[in-house]
Amino acid sequence: MALEFTDANFQTDVLDSDKLTVIDFWAEWCGPCRAIGPVIEELAKDYDGSVNVGKVNVDNNPQISHNYGITSIPAILFVKDGQVVDKLVGAQPKSNFVKKIELHK
């Protein structure tokens, strides 16, 4: 199951992690966000233990969204060693996520 990243746990769960972290910035009202939700859940299962996969609800966690300049969703950031190493914007097929994960993990 995908993790839930919040303003409160982002530092410890994402920035301080030694694993690649995939972060889906989403909102309940966003159709494309809901469309890729199952893909994010699959990735969380596929990479359980080797890659952190989670979601940030932009409505509930405005600070994180602001810090990363998220202006359109879904936006998926790939973070390693506290730095953004890659990004995807918009609904994407699972294969695009897998390519980015394999490249950076």
Q: Which CATH number belongs to the domain containing residue 22 in this structure?
A: 3.40.30.10
Average pLDDT for residues 86-97, to the nearest whole number? 96
Q: What is the mean pLDDT of residues 5-10?
A: 95
Active-site option among 33, 36, 56, 79: 33
Contact criterion met (CB below 8 Å) for 30 and 65: no
pLDDT band at 9 (very low <50, low <70, confident <90, very high): very high
The pLDDT confidence band at residue 18, using thresholds 50, 70 and 90, is very high
Burial 62-97 (b: 16+ CB within 10 A, else e): eebbeebebeebbbbbbbbeeeeebebeeebeeeeb
Number of domains in the chain: 1
- Which residues span the domain enclosing 10? 3-104
What pLDDT does 31 receive? 96
Q: Examine the residue annotation and report whether 33 is marked as an active-site residue of this protein.
A: yes
- Over residues 19-25, the mean pLDDT reads 98
Active-site annotation holder among 30, 64, 79, 88: 30
